[in-house]
Amino acid sequence: MKVLLTKAVSAAIALGALSSCSFFQPASPQPLLLDKAAANQLRGSSAPWLTTLWSPPRGTSTRSNGFLPGEVGLAVKAAAATLPVDRHGRPTYFSESVRHRYVRTTSYSHQENEVGAVGRLSAMGTTLKYGRVRSAAADWSRYPVGTIFRIKGLPQVYVVDDYGSGLVGTNTLDIYHPTLRLMRKWATRDVEIHVVRWGSWERTASLLRGRTRYKHCARMYYATMAKINSGRVVLRRGLGDQTPSL
């Protein structure tokens, strides 16, 4: 009897030890890390905000809800990791051939009634758009006037027809919204854009030339002229005046 009791106790201890092994436990969800190639590309990046890139949790939709943008592709983020950054830590692209970009966006509205803003007029003197085609502001020496782009996950197209003094020297795109509520809902977001068509560097220079008494316009003008004179950009006469027909 004593022998049988001893064997039963031993068996119970062994079973308890086995049940504590990891392969008897339900798998806990783990973050999906970048693949090896992408991770290696990010090491040593000059942009520390790119070093924590995980895929969204399982079951999380990457689709837009109709107002907010979709998820930025990991390949676009990884490519951006090799580039120098602006004061916001966002990548600076030097070649127009790179059309898929990782961009910081902010939001503005004419209802803010900022000093120097003239109602709902853009810096081009046109009415700010918010329909199938929407207005955006930028540093015109980085995104020339008339540049058309899409934001991943959204159906609209955006045209650069405005600028702001706070945007100069940055790669930020400022997205126009007609109300303060929509402006605050968008807030500041990192998005993936696709440049559909570049605007006109010549038209940009022409518009800025007469505004160089303003410091931010002077900075954009001389930076634009430097690009034109270097031959690093393609001249597209007149495109800055065209409304997108997409």
Tell me the whole-structure pTM to 2 decimals: 0.72
Q: Is the pLDDT of residue 197 over 80?
A: yes
- How far is 22 from 239, CA to CA, in rounded Å? 63
- Whether the per-residue pLDDT at 4 is higher than 80: the answer is no
Query: In this structure, what DSSP letter does residue 128 have?
Result: P
Contacts of 212 (CB under 8 A, 6+ apart): 218, 221
Whether residue 22 has pLDDT greater than 70: no
- 55/72 Cα distance (integer angstroms): 10
β-pairing, 100-108 vs 189-197, is antiparallel
CB 51 within 8 A of CB 42: yes
Architecture category of domain 36-52+66-199 in CATH: Beta Barrel (2.40)
Look up residue 231 and give its amino acid.
G
What confidence tens digit (pLDDT) does each residue in 110-139 have? 998 776 667 789 999 999 999 999 999 999
Residues contacting 211, CB < 8 A, separation 6+: 217, 218, 221
Higher pLDDT, 53 or 160: 160
Q: What is the mean pLDDT of residues 169-182?
A: 97
Nearest to 174 by CA among 165, 201, 86: 165
Distance between CA atoms of residues 147 and 67, nearest Å: 21
Nearest by Cα to 140 from 158, 126, 119, 124: 124
Report pLDDT digits (tens) over 177-188.
Answer: 999 999 999 999
* Sequence ranges of the domains in the chain: 36-52+66-199
- Residues 25-36 have pLDDT tens digits of 333 333 333 344
Instruction: Kindly give the interhelix angle for 201-209 and 215-230, rounded to the nearest 10 degrees.
Output: 140
- 8 Å CB contact between 236 and 201: yes
The predicted pLDDT at position 146 comes to 97
Cβ atoms 37, 62 nearer than 8 A: no
